[in-house]
Structures are given as C-alpha cells and as structure tokens.
Amino acid sequence: MVRREKSNYVIQSVSHALDVLEQFYGSADEIGVTELSKRLKLHKNNVFRLLATLEARGYIEQNRATENYRLGLKCLQLGQTYIQQMGFLLQAKSTLEELVKTARESSFVAVRKGAVIVPLDFVEARSAVRVVSFLGTTLPLHCTAPGKIYLAFDSEEGLSQSLPEKFDRYTDKTIIDRRVLLEQVKEVSEAGYALERAEFMEEVIAVAVPIHDYTRTLVGSLAITGPAHRLTNEKVQKEVIPMIVKGGNELSKRLGYHG
C-alpha cells in the first residue's frame, strides 16, 4: 500500500479557520472582517462564515460596539489544558523524583476530571512495602488528599456541585458525613495542605498540596503517599508536610505562580 503524505489529507476549510485564529497571535488588537479578508486573501463572505463558526464554538468573540473580533475564552481554556498536560507534567517529574528520594515514599501528581481525580504521573518508592502506582485509576474527591485539595482550592465549581448527595464508604475511616467533610475542607484551605488517613485505602496515608500556574489557576495536586506504619502522625507533621509544601511551592513557581 502506498503511504500518502499527511498534507494530502488537509481540509482546506479547517486550514482557513486556523489561519483566522493565527491572525490574532501576538497582538492585543481586535480585527475586522475586511482586514482579515485582505490578510488571508479570502472573500469577505468566506471570512464571515469562518468567523461565525468560530464564534459559535467560543474560539472567537465579537465586540458588538465595533463589530470587530478578538480571541474567545475557548482559546484560553485550551492553552491552560496544554500547560496542565505538558508544562505541568514536565516540570513535575523532577519534583516527584526528589520527593521520593527524600521522603522514601511514593509520590504522584493528579488533576481533577469532573467528579473524580485522575493521577497523571506516579513515582514509586524503592521500599519493599510501598504504595504502588495509581495510574489508570480514578480517585474520589471526598476521601483522598488530592480530592480534598480540589474541594478546598478549585474555584471552577462550588462544593454543592462537586459533592454527591451520598458519599461512598471505602474504609471504616471514610468520612461520609457532609458537615464533617465541609469542616475538614475549610481546614485544608486554611492550612494549605490536605491529609488522607486510611480513608480510601486501608493502612495508607497521603498528604497533598495544590499546584498553581502563572494565571493563579489550580492546575493539579502534588501528593506523597505511604503505609501508615511508616507515615506516623509525628513523621507526617515534622517531616512530610514541610517537605511537600516546599516541593509544591517550588513546582508552582516553575509554572510561573507568584503567590
């Protein structure tokens, strides 16, 4: 079979739509239909149809006063997603490896996807007894350290929208009382870190902190997790919390956050 070049599959209308978006790159100025038509060497009717399509999807906005166009919110959302998936993970790798080296426990980063937490990268400790990778699984919000971070710091959704009417119980320590959980979430927002004490998995302790980027947006959560017999309350308070708070602050700074 003859393999065709990918350029042979280019859809011209899609290419023109992307050309429209790229005209706004590097400039804060709004652009009108006539100007876009001149730049792209396309008929004004074609440009108007492209703009109408992009506007309907949220990638372009029209200033009703001037009738000129600017980039829409969807472009910002895509850019933030890129930062989460690429910049966040690339920057997080060294932090994870350093935490595992110093804490001698497993470490991971996770993001929120709707009503669950999704681990994106996980570095296991070298100990024979350790918490193994969560990659490929989803974690609940109400009884995991990263989940509590999102409940405390994520401004995209209110708690009333984030929390289900009934909480699933995973261990005998899982918090299923809504009032108790809300009190704990408030404590998390004040302390700047979240604790998970065998609430999701038996004999597993976790500590998590928020990660912010240059827009001050919560882009993920950084966590250390290990067996309860090693992560005693004294060790968590004296060693693990200062360690992960420092790691979280440094990672956020590398993503451009100044807080």
CA distance 125 to 134: 13
Q: Please tell me the number of Cα atoms within 13 Å of 133 on its side-chain side.
A: 8
Among 53-67, 81-95, 185-199, 203-217, the range scoring the smallest mean pLDDT is 81-95
The answer to whether 203 and 78 are in contact (CB under 8 A) is no
At residue 63, φ and ψ (nearest 5 deg) are: -80, 110
CA 99 to each of CA 181, 207, 249: distance values in angstroms, whole numbers, following the listed order: 28, 12, 13
Q: Please tell me the number of Cα atoms within 13 Å of 242 on its side-chain side.
A: 6
pLDDT in tens, 139-182: 999 999 999 999 999 865 556 566 777 899 999 999 999 899 99
Residue ranges and CATH numbers for the domains of the chain are: 10-71 (1.10.10.10), 78-254 (3.30.450.40)
CA 101 to each of CA 19, 204, 236: distance values in angstroms, whole numbers, following the listed order: 47, 19, 16
Average pLDDT in the chain: 88
Residue 91 pLDDT class (50, 70, 90 cuts): confident
How many Cβ atoms are within 10 Å of 60's Cβ, its own excluded? 23
